[in-house]
Amino acid sequence: MKYHFRTILALALLGSASVQSNAQEVTQNNQADFAEFMDRSGNQLRAASGVPGPEYWQNEADYAIEATLDDVNHSLTGKITISYTNNSPQELDFIWIYLNQNRFTETSRGTLTTPIGGNRYTGDTDGGYTLSNLNAKVKRSSSTEHYIDDTRMQVYFDEPIPARGGTATVSMDFTYRVPVEGMDRMGRLDVEGGTIYSMAQWFPQVAVYDDVEGWNVEPYLGAGEFYYDYGDFDYKITAPFDHIIVGSGELQNPKQVLSSKVRERYEQARKSDSTVYLISPEEVNDMTLRAKQEGTLTWHFKMKNTRDVAFASSKAFVWDAARINLPSGKTAMAQSAYPLESAGEDAWKRSTEYSKASVEHYSNKWYEYPYPVAVNVASHVGGMEYPGLNFCDWTDTGKSLWGVTDHEFGHNWFPMIVGTNERRYAWMDEGFNSFINHYSTLDFNNGEYSSTLNQTRKFTGWMTNPNREGIDVYPDVANLQNLGMVAYYKPAMGLLLLREYVLGEERFDRAFRSYIEAWAYKHPQPADFFNHMENVAGENLSWFWQGWFYGTGNIDLGVDFVQTYQGNTVIGLSNKGEIPMPVEMQITYTDGSTELVRLPVEIWQRGDSWNHLVNSEKEVQSVEIDPEKVLPDVNFSNDSWPTSFYQD
């Protein structure tokens, strides 16, 4: 290592000048850009390496539900028994249960916080729960004491649920009117052949008690999605005989609810890589394909280790299916249910092909799909995910149907397998999902559809808009115009930058897979994600997390000058933005040869300008930062030298 005399002299002169002119001011250094941000020290619950600690716990809620769908009065009436296990170190005097259908009243917080002109999360106001026969049991004690506030219900026990494994049972009867408009997450749609019931948020569901917040009881307002514990579900839906019901989890009683012909096709589809009709478009009204010709049928489903379940019911369904091949050799079943209106060649006829491809891609690339079925339902809901079942827009075709289907199935990984708190951290759900969707789309059918997430410079207009917000803003707080960026594109781009610019594919993929594996069926917090990625990738990324994920600053790298220096060339670079970045630049020499140079982010630790010595006697003709154009650099006019060399 050499230390140039000339540099020492320059520093000495600089030092004496500043002492003379301004003895009191201290120049700000760049430590703040690189220092740890937020409390990410580990504990016994969540280790600093980003894995669950030895004392990590989460509670469990198992559900048994029997409900009847009335397609004349559009109501759902049922009985639910919740078996709750308290694994926390505290005994619990009460639990909180979400009553999401209570959003659909005149006076709900969701209604009262919806703007006059409405928005995507508008909901009907003639619904809400009627509850009866509530019974809350711990051991032999029983209680009916409860308190309802908006979309939450507090249920008190006669004696507390013991800590570390104590159990309680809460049962009640419920009924409500199924809204038409269910905040773009559920509801009903009338088509030619009947009504399609998209049923979600359809039963009372226990809130999460965790080690970070205690009870997570933010009301159900609109943009904020969900946060639930894992459990086993056993549910039975009774509907008129002519309805087909598709649901999350495995159908338990095909012999009772499917005619022998449909059952035969069902078994055939289980073994088929191409789509098999269970009920073809021509057969929608053929009642000989139903198990009964009058009365009702009860469809029984079970799903293990899941946050939630949803289902759809209609007499208007075309129904098809195909096998999903998983990396372990196991199989699952892709299914689609849609009305005749959606059955076009370029439309829902391809839904099962899309569903199968999507689930197979994510299983191969990130983590194996754990559920027995993956159902895509055509609905008036624009696109909404539940474990093993989606509602997607019934009018979508072609690329947009691929896009929404792939996106909603991608949610099985975030947040259904990796169980984050969506109501607060939409970026860990929508953002991570949008990121994996990019590669799934590139992969599908030899690139039949394009994905443009890597064209990050398209977004610099938003990034420099004064109304922008940070990724960390809660979805119910974010300006709705910003939600697409803060919840989806910006975090997705952040992961893309990490993978394709900062860490490289191999390091990123290893860390990201490891994060999924470590937190599958658990509840990671943002700090757990940051810690995990840093520990497996072996890189302190605080400068990136705080700049990109928790700030509103931008990237702006620039070439200031290129000049010859003692027979070599010096390239003067500067970091004009708030987020430092490694510098990748392509140098082109006058003899036509090129060289790719990569400088680490640490060049910016001591200041915002850096001189790079090109150790070559060749004459430099041009320099271009980020030749692959991965960075959303907000001022790319200064990214090259000479300035006129590259302008896009």
**Minimum distance from residue 363 beta carbon to Zn ion (Å):** 19
Type of residue found at 85:
T
By beta-carbon proximity to Zn ion, the closer residue of 178 and 416 is: 416
Min separation Cβ 241 and Zn ion, Å: 35
Binding range to Zn ion, per CB under 5 A, among 171-179, 342-350, 424-432, 474-482? 424-432
User: Is 633 a residue that touches Zn ion (CB under 5 A)?
Assistant: no
Q: Which stretch binds Zn ion (CB under 5 A): 27-35, 307-315, 422-430, 451-459?
A: 422-430
Which structure tokens are listed for 132? 């009866």
Strand 331-338 relative to strand 311-314, pairing: unpaired
**CB nearest Zn ion: which residue?**
430
Q: Specify burial of residue 6 (Cβ count, 10 A radius: 0-12, 13-18, 19+).
A: exposed
* Alpha helix stretches (DSSP H) within 35-170: 109-112
Cβ proximity to Zn ion: between 311 and 489 the closer is 489
430/624 with CB nearer Zn ion: 430
DSSP labels for 564-579?
A: EETTEEEEEEEE-SSS
Burial classification of residue 131, based on how many CB atoms lie within 10 Å of its CB (0-12 exposed, 13-18 middle, 19 or more buried): middle
Q: How near is the Cβ of 411 to Zn ion at its closest, in Å?
A: 6
- Distances 520 to 203, 367, 558, 636 between C-alpha atoms, Å: 24, 9, 41, 40
The residues pairing with 247 across neighbouring beta strands, listed in sequence order, are 311
Q: To the nearest whole angstrom, how small is the minimum distance from the Cβ of residue 385 to Zn ion?
A: 6
The span from the CA of 56 to the CA of 54, in Å, is 6
Nearer to Zn ion, 223 or 322 (CB): 223
The DSSP output letter for 163 is: T
d(CA 634, CA 459): 9
Smaller CB separation from Zn ion, 223 or 289:
223
Strand 60-70 relative to strand 231-240, pairing: parallel
Nearer to Zn ion, 234 or 430 (CB): 430
Q: Which are the contacts of 596, defined by CB distance < 8 A and separation ≥ 6?
A: 584, 585, 586, 587, 627
Segment near Zn ion (CB under 5 A); pick from 141-149, 259-267, 274-282, 423-431: 423-431
Nearer to Zn ion by C-beta: 129 or 413? 413
Selected range binding Zn ion among 208-216, 288-296, 427-435, 545-553, rule: CB under 5 A: 427-435
Per the structure block, which two tokens stand in for 14?
A: 């600089």
Of residues 74 through 113, those in contact with Zn ion by CB under 5 A are none
**How many CA atoms are closer than 13 Å to the CA of 300, on its beta-carbon side?**
7
Minimum distance between the CB of residue 490 and Zn ion, rounded to whole angstroms?
Answer: 14
Q: In this complex, which beta carbon is closest to Zn ion, that of residue 315 or of residue 424?
A: 424
Spatial neighbors of 619 by CB under 8 A, at least 6 apart, are 564, 569, 589, 590, 591
Query: How many Å separate Cα 174 from the centre of its chain?
Result: 31
Nearer to Zn ion, 301 or 367 (CB): 367
| Cα gap 314→239, rounded to integer Å | 9
Q: Which residues contact 254 (CB under 8 A, 6 or more apart)?
A: 263, 266
Q: How far is the CB of 426 from Zn ion (least distance, A)?
A: 9
Compute the distance between CA of residue 416 and CA of residue 355 in angstroms, rounded to an integer. 16
Return the number of the residue (34 or 391) whose C-beta is nearest Zn ion: 391
Element (H, E) at 439: helix 430-443
Write the binding mask 376 to 415 for Zn ion: x where contact by CB under 5 A, - elsewhere.
Answer: ----------------------------------------
Least CB distance to Zn ion at residue 340 (A): 28
Residue 430 near Zn ion by CB under 5 A: yes
Instruction: Report the first-to-last Cα separation within the chain, whole angstroms.
Output: 40
Q: Under the criterion CB under 5 A, does residue 534 sit at the interface with Zn ion?
A: no
The C-alpha atoms of residue 401 and residue 340 are separated, in whole angstroms, by 16
CB of 282 to Zn ion, least distance (A): 34
> Could you tell me the two tokens for 527?
């700090």
Question: Which of the ranges 301-309, 425-433, 459-467, 604-612 carries the binding residues for Zn ion, by CB under 5 A?
Answer: 425-433
Q: Give whichever of 386 and 501 is closer to Zn ion, judged by the CB atom.
A: 386
Count of residues touching Zn ion (by CB under 5 A):
1
Closer CB to Zn ion, residue 430 or residue 472?
430
d(CA 287, CA 125) in angstroms, rounded, equals: 36
Shortest Cβ 433–Zn ion spacing (Å): 6
The span of 284-292, 398-406, 429-437, 441-449 binding Zn ion (CB under 5 A) equals: 429-437
| Cβ proximity to Zn ion, 418 vs 583, nearer residue | 418
Closest C-alpha to 251, from 388, 412, 360, 370: 388
Nearest distance from C-beta of residue 328 to Zn ion, angstroms:
27
Contact residues for 340 (Cβ-Cβ < 8 A; gap 6+): 191, 192, 193, 281, 284, 316, 318
Task: Tell me the one-letter amino acid at 131.
Answer: L
Between 168 and 310, whose beta carbon lies closer to Zn ion? 310
Q: What is the DSSP letter of 179?
A: P
Q: Closest distance between Zn ion and the C-beta of residue 242, in Å? A: 33
Closest to Zn ion by CB, 430 vs 528, is 430
Least distance from C-beta 79 to Zn ion, angstroms?
32
CB 407, min distance to Zn ion, A: 6
Residue 429 CB, nearest approach to Zn ion (Å): 7
Tokens 């970026």 sit on residue: 427
Determine the 3-state secondary structure of 376 from DSSP. Answer: strand
Cα(31)–Cα(24) distance, integer angstroms:
20
- Distance in angstroms (rounded) separating the CA atoms of residues 453 and 499: 13
Q: How far is the CB of 454 from Zn ion (least distance, A)?
A: 19
Find the part of the chain contacting Zn ion (CB under 5 A) among 133-141, 162-170, 426-434, 507-515.
Answer: 426-434
- The nearer residue to Zn ion, 427 or 519, going by C-beta atoms, is 427
From the number of C-beta atoms within 10 Å of its C-beta (0-12, 13-18, 19+), residue 15 rates as exposed
CB of 176 to Zn ion, least distance (A): 26
Residues lying near Zn ion in the complex (CB under 5 A) are found at: 430
